[in-house]
Amino acid sequence: MKFNRSAVVYTALALGAIAAIGFVALQDPASNSAPADYSALEALRAGEMKKLAFAPAPKAVSTQAFTRKDGSTGTLAEYQGKVTVLNFWATWCAPCRKEMPSLAALQSQMGDQINVVTLATGRNPPPAIDAFLTEVGAVNLPRHRDPKSAIARDMAVLGLPITVILDANGMEIARLTGDADWASGSAKAILAALADPEQYP
């Protein structure tokens, strides 16, 4: 029997590539994320929360560092353990001015159950951030900065504001484009359900 050497080599290379891909998938938890089923929450979406879109499967978030008010740095991984409402905003963003007080109210009302993390992306000098949050009555929110928009780029944030919900494992499970009332009954009902590990581990 005559063998086609080229075919044998090609087959061996193809099988090796498939094995390598399978190995990477096993090593990458994000690639093994099971499809998420948040259908029970659909009925809770009302008003502006109807804009909230759930991801078909949890997605990894940026590992880039943000800058805190004191100049130290941190990453989104430090918020794992609780559901996190991650808001991308800027001092020059008019819809952000409208939305920010509701995020401050959410922090006051549900801060023991969830994290509310505000991340000013782009050029936002700390004095301007302080003035903005004071003017809108949201001084209880973090003053984190993403000065080079590295995190925003990693997470495909196009336009502001955008709010991303992370599960307790630090994975993106939903996002809302544009401003919304995060202190509404609908928003709080959705977040309370997500924060219950018996419903959404």
What are the pLDDT digits (tens) for 93-150? 999 999 999 999 999 999 999 999 999 999 999 999 999 999 999 999 999 999 999 9
pLDDT band, residue 153 (cuts 50/70/90)? very high
Phi-psi region of 189 (alpha: psi -120 to 50; beta: other; left: phi over 0): alpha
Does residue 26 surpass a pLDDT of 60?
A: no
Q: Nearest 5°: phi and psi at 147? A: -60, -30
pLDDT at 8 over 70: no
* Cα distances (angstroms) measured from residue 101 to each of 14, 89, 105, 138, 174: 56, 13, 6, 6, 21
Question: pTM of the prediction?
Answer: 0.83
Q: What is the per-residue pLDDT for 30?
A: 43
Question: For 187-192, what is the mean pLDDT?
Answer: 97
Range of weakest confidence among 71-80, 177-186, 192-201: 192-201
* Residue 9 token pair: 């080599």
CB 175 within 8 A of CB 165: yes
